[in-house]
């Protein structure tokens, strides 16, 4: 990929806020820089929204709400479908842009474009399937009508690690349901959302239906929007720590909330597992997105009889991974998002080794330009290690062992989180028992990637509330209304 092509793409990205269908400067004219984590160089300088800009965006979304809600479902769906088609036409630009601002390998960025685009296609079809019911009540005294209405103006806070898919996963169902949107993309990776918004414009989205207010001061901008009584929905993807604060703020206005929060995913390998499948699943579940995913496998819980062979095979593959800028051919491991992420990975690895874990591969940051950390394998990780409690968010695979099925379940469930789990076993009955026993909102049985636009994404415990995607996803943006008509 030539630097000339990169620069041409970057130069085409609007630098303003998108409010009321116009790209405008912020209230104060302030800006902030977006950097390429592989080089630490500034790639674009864009408008920095103030709280007043956020409220202005909400004003516009509120003003557009009634007309958008009254827009025919078929029309809403066709706009989403046109947006999907435009994403396919510009998929290489979207992928490159994500690689430049986030660092993931280009092949993975292309995968995110495919995944994120499917939310547009899926919810374009769901827009025309919003339905209710009609029937006689049990007493025979009246007819019951149950109907669905758009929740109303919605505020989205999206994360930096999947800047395209997390935007489409929220925007698509909201638009399909008839809700208007204010979205605050992440300060670290805002350009993808900005570019996607230009495609929504091109697809014919009416002015004011989607508004984009990027900022370097997230909490300052978000708080007054959440506190505004006209807002009816808040959706956030990010850490549990921040999610708790946003839920508390949303409680004041009794807002509908969707929270996709932290994860601490167990990856359980039984002694009857197909190790070839387990190794492939481990590499996908751990190193996809450089380990920077809430769905990333965090704790590898492997039966003691196969742990040695599993660790050996995984280590061989990890040692062959190419590290570098995501635009380079064959790169499997790009940079972490910033220096803090590198420092956290190093601290977790050092703590595990000090407590008795064995380092089989990697284990250190790379010197030089960019925020790179070696893909790492640890084995014999002991209970109490921080790496078993905290979300790693980096390319570190940590292996602990177990002996019995009950012990595996206990270890897997020994966390405040419950987003996703992975289980590898060739025993059908055992697999069914794991579906019932593991306390997670999602599970991969003999597979290392579970996300799909047609499936409900979300967790239990402190991994969040609500679901995104699937038939369930659009209902997060609908309120149910019951009407009784007496029998005459």
Q: What is the DSSP string of 250-315?
A: HHHTT-EEEEE----EEEEE-TTS-HHHHHHHHHHHHHGGGG-STTSEEEEEEEHHHHHHHHHHHH
SS3 145: strand
Q: Based on the number of CB atoms within 10 Å of its own CB, is 230 exposed (0-12), middle (13-18) or buried (19 or more)?
A: middle
Residue 63 has phi, psi (to 5 degrees) of: -65, -30
Name the CA radius of gyration of the chain, rounded: 23
User: Which residues are CB-contacts of 318 (< 8 A; sequence separation ≥ 6)?
Assistant: 283, 287, 361, 362, 375, 376, 377, 397
User: Which residues are CB-contacts of 82 (< 8 A; sequence separation ≥ 6)?
Assistant: 202, 203, 204
In the block, residue with structure tokens 């597992």: 273
d(CA 240, CA 261): 5
Per the CB < 8 A criterion, the answer to whether 467 and 457 are in contact is yes
Per the CB < 8 A criterion, the answer to whether 291 and 393 are in contact is yes
Start-to-end CA distance of the chain, whole Å, equals: 73
d(CA 317, CA 415): 29
Cβ neighbours, 10 Å, residue 430: 17
- How is the beta sheet containing 478-486 ordered, strand by strand? 133-136, 142-150, 478-486
Which residues are the active-site residues? 260, 294
What per-residue string of b and e applies to 112-149 under the rule 16 or more CB within 10 Å gives b?
A: bbebbbbbbbbbbebbeebeeeeeeeeeeeeeeeeebe
Per the CB < 8 A criterion, the answer to whether 43 and 34 are in contact is yes
d(CA 179, CA 183): 12
């Amino acid at each position: 990929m030539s630097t000339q092509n990169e620069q041409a793409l970057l130069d085409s990205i609007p630098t303003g806020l998108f409010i009321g269908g116009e790209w405008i400067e912020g209230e104060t004219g302030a800006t902030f820089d977006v950097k390429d984590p592989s080089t630490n160089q500034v790639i674009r300088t864009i408008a920095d929204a103030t709280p007043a800009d956020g409220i202005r965006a909400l004003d516009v979304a509120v003003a557009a709400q009634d007309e958008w809600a009254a827009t025919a479902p078929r029309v809403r769906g066709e706009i989403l479908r046109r947006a999907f088609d435009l994403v396919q036409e510009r998929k290489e630009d979207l992928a490159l842009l994500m690689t430049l601002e986030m660092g993931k390998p280009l092949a993975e960025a292309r995968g995110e474009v495919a995944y994120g685009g499917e939310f547009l296609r899926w919810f374009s079809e769901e827009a025309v399937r919003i339905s209710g019911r009609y029937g006689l009540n049990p007493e025979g005294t009246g007819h019951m009508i149950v109907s669905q209405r758009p929740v109303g103006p919605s505020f989205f806070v999206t994360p930096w690690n999947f800047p395209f898919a997390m935007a489409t996963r929220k925007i698509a169902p909201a638009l399909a349901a008839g809700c208007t949107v204010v979205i605050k993309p992440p300060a670290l990776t805002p350009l993808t959302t900005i570019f996607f918004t230009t495609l929504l414009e091109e697809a014919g989205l009416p002015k004011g239906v989607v508004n984009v207010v990027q900022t370097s001061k997230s909490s300052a901008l978000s708080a007054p929007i959440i506190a505004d009584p006209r807002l009816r929905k808040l959706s956030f993807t990010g850490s549990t720590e921040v999610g708790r604060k946003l839920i508390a703020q949303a409680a004041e206005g009794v807002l509908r909330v969707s929270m996709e929060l932290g994860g601490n995913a167990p990856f359980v390998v039984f002694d009857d597992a197909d190790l070839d499948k387990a190794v492939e699943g481990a590499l996908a579940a751990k190193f996809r997105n450089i380990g920077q995913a809430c769905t990333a496998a965090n704790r590898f819980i492997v039966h003691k009889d196969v742990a040695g062979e599993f660790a050996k095979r995984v280590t061989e593959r990890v040692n062959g991974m190419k590290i570098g800028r995501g635009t380079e051919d064959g790169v499997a491991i790009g940079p972490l998002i910033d220096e803090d992420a590198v420092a956290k990975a190093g601290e977790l690895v050092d703590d595990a080794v000090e407590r008795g874990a064995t380092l089989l591969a990697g284990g250190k940051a790379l010197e030089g330009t960019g925020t790179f950390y070696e893909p790492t394998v640890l084995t014999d990780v002991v209970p109490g290690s921080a790496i078993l409690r905290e979300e790693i968010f980096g390319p570190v695979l940590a292996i602990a062992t177990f002996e019995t099925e009950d012990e595996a379940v206990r270890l897997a469930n020994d966390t405040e989180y419950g987003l996703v789990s992975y289980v590898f076993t060739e025993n059908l009955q055992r697999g069914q028992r794991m579906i019932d026993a593991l306390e997670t909102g999602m599970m991969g049985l003999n597979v290392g990637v579970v996300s799909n636009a047609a499936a409900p994404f979300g967790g239990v415990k402190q991994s969040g509330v609500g679901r995104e995607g699937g038939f369930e996803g659009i209902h997060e943006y609908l309120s149910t209304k019951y009407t009784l008509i007496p029998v005459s």
